[in-house]
Amino acid sequence: MTEATAKVPLKAPRINAMTVDVEEYFQVAAFENHVPSDRWAHIPSRVEASIDRILALFELAGVQATFFTVGWVAERHPTMIRRIVDAGHELASHGMNHVRVFRQDRPTFAADIRQSKQVLEDIGGQRIKGYRAATFSIDQRNLWALDELADAGFEYSSSIYPGTHPAYGMPEAQRFAFRVADGRMLEVPITTAEVAGRRMPCAGGGFFRLYPYALTRQFLRGVNRGDGESAVFYFHPWEVDADQPRVPGVSFKTRIRHYLNIHRVESRLEKLLGDFGWGRMDQIFLEHKAPAESGR
């Protein structure tokens, strides 16, 4: 019996959103000076084997999730994309080439999101509603990006980290879902825990590897019961790929961030999938908010 069933919760446990950012291990922002994008096509791909392991984990746990997918990857792995969709998961956009939004001007961004939406819809055969910026790169500097996403037909974004981090963050943003672009779209920030008035990352990426699993679980329960909100958890296919080739020449800090506890992720995910209820972004955040529109 887990602690969840032993205690009487303050509020009913909620379903959380499970999300995967589908990209190759060499496409992360921290490696951009070591693996320039013009070399990507010459590096052996590892994403497909990791995605198949993730699909198996999700199937075993009976979980449906949202896969924010880089267009560059989708174009090279169309059958993998169809396996994701055929298993009942939601396909969503992670941009064409994993370029952070603050590195794009507005027309470039507008073209990129449209192209990524089209590529994913053509391959996956389902309408693309969601977008996640590379490395949570929408913040105070480029809130116009949310208007562009609404103009391009997206219904939600999950691109803002509402806290402080060395590489990203918008600490003044609300912690939970809020309407943007004159009410046309929903922004669902990455989940933070509030501890003694401070916002702590608690929903994936490097922190899932850094913290003991029990701390992640405690934070997520706090969000579900204390805040009464659904959490958004994220991880990457390269985080279940302990044997990925090491990128040479990167700094100690980057090495720690990328590889720390990578061999522990799969077993921690198994626990996480069992300890909470999980679902797709669109089903959690769009359907219950707009019941009148869900039948169209």
Looking at the chain, the number of H-run helices and the number of E-run strands are 11, 11
Per-residue binding letters, 95-134, with Zn ion (x by CB under 5 A)? ---------------------------------------x
Closer CB to Zn ion, residue 23 or residue 139? Answer: 23
How much is the CA Rg of the chain, to the nearest whole Å? Answer: 18
| Residue among 27 and 230 whose Cβ is closer to Zn ion | 27
Minimum CB separation from Zn ion for residue 30, in Å? 11
| Among the residue ranges 15-23, 83-91, 175-183, 222-230, the one whose residues contact Zn ion (CB under 5 A) | 15-23
Tell whether residue 21 is a contact of Zn ion (CB under 5 A).
yes
Least distance between Zn ion and beta carbon 95 (Å): 8
Cα of 65 vs its chain's centroid, Å: 10
Closest distance between Zn ion and the C-beta of residue 282, in Å? 19
CB closer to Zn ion out of 23 and 24: 23
Return the residues of window 54-73 that contact Zn ion according to CB under 5 A: none
Which residue, judged by CB position, is nearest to Zn ion in the bound state? 21
Task: Encode 41-57: b = buried (16+ Cβ within 10 Å), e = exposed.
Answer: eeeeebbbebbeebbeb
Amino acid at 85: V
Residue 136 falls in which region: left (phi positive, over 0), alpha (psi -120 to 50) or beta: left
SS3 (DSSP) at 117:
helix
Query: How near is the Cβ of 153 to Zn ion at its closest, in Å?
Result: 22
Of residues 213-272, those binding Zn ion (CB under 5 A): none
Dist CA 85 CA 290 (whole Å): 23
Give CA–CA dist 139/22, Å, rounded. Answer: 22
Distance (Å, rounded) from C-alpha 59 to C-alpha 208? 21
Distance CA(183)–CA(185), nearest Å, equals: 6
Min CB(3)–Zn ion separation in Å: 32
Which listed range, 13-21, 31-39, 50-58, 178-186, lies at the site for Zn ion (CB under 5 A)? 13-21
Task: Report the amino acid identity of residue 32.
Answer: E
* Three-state DSSP class for residue 204: strand
Of the pair 21, 112, the CB lying nearest Zn ion is at 21
Q: Which is nearer to Zn ion, 33 or 294 (CB)?
A: 33
Q: Which is nearer to Zn ion, 112 or 224 (CB)?
A: 112
Residue owning tokens 């969840």: 4
Q: Cite the DSSP H helix spans in the chain.
A: 3-6, 47-61, 71-76, 78-86, 106-124, 144-151, 205-210, 213-221, 252-259, 265-275, 281
Q: How far is the CB of 223 from Zn ion (least distance, A)?
A: 22
Minimum separation from the CB atom of position 27 to Zn ion (A): 7
Q: Which is nearer to Zn ion, 134 or 217 (CB)?
A: 134
Name which of 135 and 224 has its Cβ closer to Zn ion.
135
Question: Shortest approach of Zn ion to residue 133 CB, angstroms?
Answer: 8
Site for Zn ion in 127-166 (CB under 5 A): 134
Q: Write out the residues near Zn ion by the rule CB under 5 A.
A: 21, 23, 134
